[in-house]
Amino acid sequence: MIADGLFGLDWEAWFSIGGSLAALGWLILILAPRRWAALNIVPAYIIPAILSIGYSTLILLYFGEGEGGFGTLAAVAALFETMPLLLAGWIHYLAFDLFVGAWIARRADVVGLHRILQAPILFATFMLGPLGLLVYLATEQCMTRLLGTSTYAKA
């Protein structure tokens, strides 16, 4: 039997906490000056690590409780019918998208992409994950070809 929550909080509260943490990370990533090195580790490592701990806790406690699996789309859908596993899936997205966003920001700084141009790419990564990554990779390729330099060794 799956509980209505964990550590005294219901699943909606955990959903809000995860979303708020991720949003804080994205705000820091997009708006805070990168010259504040100590602040840069918050969206790059600290918040993704906290989210990963939450994800891991949910998976370790509830993975055996869910129906379904990863073999078919229907099996994945069945897996996410269990509230804690649905939350784990959502937190997985939050953690990975923020980590990828921090990677994009670091690389974009190295290749000289202005912060004003980084913001919509980072926002796209926040909202649409792989689409934002694809836009960044295409942007970096265009910059590399236009400037005639390779930045892969620098970032």
Domain boundaries, the chain: 7-147
121 to 47, 104, 117, 139: CA distances (angstroms)? 20, 9, 7, 9
Residuewise pLDDT in 10s, the chain (155 residues): 577 888 889 999 999 999 999 999 999 999 998 888 888 899 999 999 999 999 999 999 998 887 888 899 999 898 888 999 999 999 999 999 999 999 999 999 988 899 999 999 999 999 999 999 999 999 999 988 887 766 554 55
